[in-house]
Chains A and B, each alone.
Chain A
Amino acid sequence: MHAAQILINALVLGCLYACIAIGFSLVWGVLNVINLIHGSFIVLGAYLAFALYYLLHLSPWYAVVVAAPLFFVLGYLLQRLILNRVITAPVLVTLTLTFGLDLILNNAMIYFFRADYRKLTLAPPLGSISILGVVVPVDRLIATASALALTGILYLLLRRSRVGRAIVAVRLDRDAAVLMGVDVKSIYAIAFGLGAALAGCAGVVMALIFPISPLTSSGYLGKAFVVCVLGGLGSVSGALAGGLLLALVAGVGSTFFGPSHATTLSFVLLIIFLILRPQGLLGRKGFE
């Protein structure tokens, strides 16, 4: 029974981790940019859900619908106006640039929203359900379902739509995509916009479960790093596999070594994977 509970917890947490990481993975895979603003975007999304719930009494389900286009536009503009200028520069420049942008956004959030931890509490609490002795809180269940839905939508978008195929084409071979008539600049901006939109939606989902504060952004970012490296870059299934593996390791690790060592364990796992299997669980060699 104990093992089943750990497994269910890992499953729930794994889907949430995947949801945190897919946007990051998409941007890294397609633009070859490590997007350090990702964590702050997630927190901003959480604040959006918080504000909509308490100011306009809109439930978080609608907040997803508001967040997606808003963050898409934000990400699109950010890429077009700033990141596009250094997109061909070495990793040091793009990484430091997104770090600078993250400092600005994070400081702005601390300035306007304060660093206090807040919590979005739904007015009638949803409670929890228990099946055969395994307890799952309903809000986590709903968050997991939304996370899976977001992942599914991205998967369908990349698979079925024209834009999605163009994004995959640019990811596989930029130059060949140009020769096939793909407008790489606009695809870059769309991919970054999609990454931002996914981060915003992930933030809304996280607001249901975790406390909200600008200080939590680095935690989300760290999770995104680990999930991407574990699962493999740029693919939706890779993010899911990485999220599940990370949650499983963190869950089992904190059961055996105590919760304070879970973070250390996940980063040690990250370094081991980087060295032994840099393409990740589901990635193909030479594909990065």
Chain B
Amino acid sequence: MTRVNVSLLVLIACVAALPLFGGAYALRLGTIACMYSILALSWNVVGGFAGYPSFATAAFFGFGAYATGVLMNDGLPLWLSVVIAAAAALLLAALLGAVLLRLRGHYFAIASLSLVEVLRELVNNATDLTGGGMGLNIPLVAGSSVMSDATFFFYAMWGLFLATALMVMAVASSKLGFGLACIRQNETASSMVGLNTTFYKSLAFGLSACFVSAAGGVYAACVHYIDPSDVFDILYSVKPIVMALMGGLGSPLGVACGAFLYLGLEEVVWRNYVQIHTGVLGLLIVMLLLFLPHGLISLRPGRFRRRAKHV
């Protein structure tokens, strides 16, 4: 257990104390903060460890939301629906990954982007099952009062956040993490020395999709109504990347901090400049990439080095 991992666990424990201090608004923010951290940490497994530019986060987020919604409408309890959605996403992503992860660079990026489009269109057209463009209503679960509802979903999302962080730490310290780092550095060479790259990449893709899908399921139960353009929003693919870049690629603590910071900025911008908030988000992305390409973690004293990136 390294110092960085311990600090991440301490951070998560601090977040758990939120209901003691805040009202419903703080709880909602906390829930979203946990959700963003789950998305960013999961993305980090594929994008940070293995170095594959995946834009498929929104696809599995929407998949989880819809799978949970449909199952809950069939009368299954929330926890079971989320577990089934997560397991289904793990399988689906591992199978898709075995095919899609053969592509590299731009081609993989495009393929993962179009995965979002394909799933959105499928859900849009399967009106009998998903309600199509009309969206899907999801039955209430906790339901006695606003506060208890908010507390319940906060802890549900927090639990997932903890599970995701543990998964990421386990991956990072295991043979899988080492293999993914090899793949990032030189895939051909690592397959030459006998690493089963397809299996490693598919497993990473599956694990990442699994937690994203569970987060989507809890989100759907929390907001009680989903529609395809909401949960399959391409922004759900891009935001985790921005958070990870903001915090520093590959470092779980950095990524989680990036998610919190991002949410803070988003909330401030959203509250003050509703009409131009996506533009401000764009500006933030551009500034970040131009002036702080290695994330906040590179600002640590002593490790701060300025180097020209462009040649």
Asked if A97 and B117 make an inter-chain contact with CB atoms under 8 angstroms apart, the answer reads no
Is B113 an interface position by the 8 A CB rule?
A: yes
Q: Quote the shortest CB–CB distance from B185 to chain A (angstroms).
A: 13
Q: Mark B110-126, 1 if CB is under 8 A from A, else 0.
A: 11011101100110110
Is A65 an interface position by the 8 A CB rule?
A: no
Q: Which residue of B is nearest A269, CB measured?
A: B114
Known contacts A92-B53, A106-B278, A225-B110; A278/B103 CB under 8 A: yes
Q: Quote the shortest CB–CB distance from B238 to chain A (angstroms).
A: 6
Is A152 an interface position by the 8 A CB rule?
A: no
Asked if B282 and A267 make an inter-chain contact with CB atoms under 8 angstroms apart, the answer reads no
Is A128 an interface position by the 8 A CB rule?
A: no
Residues of A near B109 (CB, < 8 A) are 34, 91-92, 95
Known contacts A96-B289, A275-B102, A278-B103; A107/B114 CB under 8 A: no
Asked if B282 and A100 make an inter-chain contact with CB atoms under 8 angstroms apart, the answer reads yes
Residues of A near B111 (CB, < 8 A) are 270-271, 274-275
Residues of A near B289 (CB, < 8 A) are 86, 93, 96-97, 100
- B-side binding surface: helix, strand, loop or mixed? helix
- A-side binding surface: helix, strand, loop or mixed? helix
Q: Quote the shortest CB–CB distance from B148 to chain A (angstroms).
A: 37
Asked if A88 and B309 make an inter-chain contact with CB atoms under 8 angstroms apart, the answer reads yes
Asked if B309 and A268 make an inter-chain contact with CB atoms under 8 angstroms apart, the answer reads no
Please, how many residues of chain A have a CB less than 8 angstroms from a CB on the other chain? 45
Tell me which of B55, B286, B309 contacts A100 (CB under 8 A).
B286
Asked if B117 and A274 make an inter-chain contact with CB atoms under 8 angstroms apart, the answer reads no
Asked if A107 and B115 make an inter-chain contact with CB atoms under 8 angstroms apart, the answer reads no
Q: Which residue of B is nearest A89, CB measured?
A: B309
Q: Quote the shortest CB–CB distance from B180 to chain A (angstroms).
A: 16
Alpha-carbon distance A268/B279, docked complex (angstroms): 31
Residues of A near B118 (CB, < 8 A) are 264, 267-268, 271
Q: Quote the shortest CB–CB distance from A87 to chain B (angstroms).
A: 7
Residues of B near A99 (CB, < 8 A) are 238, 282, 285
Alpha-carbon distance A91/B109, docked complex (angstroms): 8
Is A9 an interface position by the 8 A CB rule?
A: no
Q: Quote the shortest CB–CB distance from B39 to chain A (angstroms).
A: 15
Is B193 an interface position by the 8 A CB rule?
A: no
Asked if A225 and B114 make an inter-chain contact with CB atoms under 8 angstroms apart, the answer reads yes
10 contacts between A and B (CB under 8 A): A91-B53, A95-B55, A97-B290, A103-B281, A106-B279, A107-B278, A260-B124, A271-B114, A271-B115, A275-B100
Question: Top 8 closest A-B pairs, CB basis?
Answer: A103-B282, A100-B285, A107-B279, A104-B282, A264-B121, A92-B53, A100-B282, A100-B286
Which residue numbers of A lie inside 8 Å of B, CB to CB? 28, 32, 34, 82, 84-93, 95-97, 99-108, 111, 218, 222, 225-226, 229, 260-261, 263-264, 267-268, 270-271, 274-275, 278, 288
